[in-house]
Structure 1
Amino acid sequence: MFVCQALLVSFLVSWTLPFVLLSAESVDKNVDPKKVVKIGVILPAENSYPYSLPRTLPAIEYAIETVERDPNLLPGYTLQINTNDSRCSDTYGPLAAVHMQVNKRAHVFLGPSCEYAVAPVARFSPVWNIPLLSAGALVTAFRNKKRDYKLLTRIQGTYVKAGEFIYTISRYYNWTKIGLIFHDRSHAPNVMRSKCFFETEGIYVLWKERYKIRPWHLTFNEHHNKSDIKKILKEASYHTRSKLHLFPISRSQKR
């Protein structure tokens, strides 16, 4: 319990600490194996991701040092970090977890954080009895704790929470019809949905649950020069009565 609390803090401060690379097998051979708590960190090695190994490992080290300095927290135990590169992939993320489970290198998983990487690992973890903590897994489907994601703990606000925020504002202004306009990729098989899709899904699902109606929505490709924003907004005016048209902004748009 205390280890989990310390590691939760580590995620929150991960982007503020310098990079320190930790050895995956640095435990003293004289230490009793039964007194070793193995922490399996499954995150992308590529530093462009917000929760990458280079950004997060220093914070995890800081959290472990905090635990080890307190004689009341896990006295006599050694905390060991083992890492694997998830590549933010729905293939390599699960393989990294399987590798750790087969080789007995994790009593708890930190990550993956990318939606498609964490989903299968979070489904495996109850079978292996290995809890999973993630700064990702924000998608609505991860609410299902009774069946698929029993040992998943998410440590920050989810997209459904954003939906509750929009719902609260809408109730205050008596907005009952909204339009959801967002960037998405092709709907072809094996093509991952966009981050904008998942962000907007939280609003869509909550709206459908509370009002028992499906909000009008329209997708466009922000990378396609022929996207006609004026035409999209005109169509939105035919289906909605409020001034609330939601455009989740991607990184490329912010630049």
Structure 2
Amino acid sequence: RNLTLAVVLPEHNLSYAWAWPRVGPAEALAVEALGRALPVDLRFVSSELDGACSEYLAPLRAVDLKLYHDPDLLLGPGCVYPAASVARFASHWHLPLLTAGAVASGFAAKNEHYRTLVRTGPSAPKLGEFVVTLHGHFNWTARAALLYLDARTDDRPHYFTIEGVFEALQG
């Protein structure tokens, strides 16, 4: 029997920390190590498709991987908007979704949409907790506004990062 890992990550865009050329070698080492630890009748295999950090393409790739490979685990995507769509499918399929991205605060709610999502990387809510702790440690009571460009043409990493800080400081 095969244990199948399905990967939906950007194949060529190295501007993402979780692009396949960066993550692939670690995934290969993990698959090899897990393969040695599995019983003889189990084999670990993986299938990869380029999700391109696209909110259109990544969910379609996840559906293709589910349809043609019936995976036991999904890896990626890391970008917020594609991760949201793929996480909804993964929850519907009762399939674990492991990602180093998906930093937005909304993913912390383990509701029906994100109940199988596991984030291994930093998250905006954790950054917010850190900032609140830092403010408490130094007894800071005033804050400066952080300004950034939010062109809404990309995955909005600045928006989602500061969202966690803003929400934590409001609470």
| Aligned counterpart, 2:170 | 208
Instruction: Give 3-state SS (helix, strand or coil) of 2:103's partner.
Output: coil
Match of 2:95 among 126, 130, 133: 130
Q: For structure 2, which runs of at least 5 residues remain unmatched after alignment? A: none
| Aligned counterpart, 2:17 | 50
Divergent runs of 4+, >4 A: none
| Aligned counterpart, 2:79 | 114
Q: What do the CA deviations read for 1:85-129 (whole angstroms, capped 9, x no partner)?
A: 011110111111111122234221000111111111001111111
Q: What do the CA deviations read for 1:126-177 (whole angstroms, capped 9, x no partner)?
A: 1111110000011111001133200000112211111111111111232233
The answer as to whether partners of 1:132 and 1:151 remain within 8 angstroms in 2 is: yes
Amino acid at match of 1:64: V
Structure ranking higher on relative contact order (CA contacts 8 Å, 6+ apart): 2
Superposition TM-score, scaled by structure 2 size:
0.91
The whole-number CA distance in structure 1 between the counterparts of 2:8 and 2:39 is: 23
Task: Give how far 1:81 is off.
Answer: 0.8
Give RMSD over aligned pairs: 1.7
Q: What do the CA deviations read for 1:60-99 (whole angstroms, capped 9, x no partner)?
A: 11112112223xx343111111011011110111111111
The answer as to whether partners of 1:82 and 1:105 remain within 8 angstroms in 2 is: no
The answer to whether 1:41 aligns with 2:41 is: no
Amino acid at match of 2:35: E
Instruction: Give 3-state SS (helix, strand or coil) of 2:3's partner.
Output: strand
The answer as to whether partners of 2:97 and 2:118 remain within 8 angstroms in 1 is: yes
| Aligned counterpart, 2:35 | 68
The whole-number CA distance in structure 1 between the counterparts of 2:151 and 2:23 is: 32
- How many residue pairs get matched? 170
Which structure would you say has the larger Rg?
1
Instruction: Give 3-state SS (helix, strand or coil) of 1:106's partner.
Output: coil
The answer as to whether partners of 2:9 and 2:51 remain within 8 angstroms in 1 is: yes
Q: Which moved more, 1:122-131 or 1:171-180?
A: 171-180
The whole-number CA distance in structure 2 between the counterparts of 1:83 and 1:199 is: 28
The whole-number CA distance in structure 2 between the counterparts of 1:45 and 1:115 is: 17
The whole-number CA distance in structure 1 between the counterparts of 2:28 and 2:160 is: 32
Task: Give how far 1:208 is off.
Answer: 1.3
Q: For structure 1, which runs of at least 5 residues remain unmatched after alignment? A: 1-34, 210-255
| Aligned counterpart, 2:113 | 148
Identity %: 31
The answer to whether 1:85 aligns with 2:47 is: no
Task: Give how far 1:181 is off.
Answer: 1.6
The answer as to whether partners of 1:138 and 1:158 remain within 8 angstroms in 2 is: yes
Amino acid at match of 1:38: T
| Aligned counterpart, 1:28 | none
The answer to whether 1:177 aligns with 2:142 is: yes
The answer as to whether partners of 1:112 and 1:134 remain within 8 angstroms in 2 is: yes
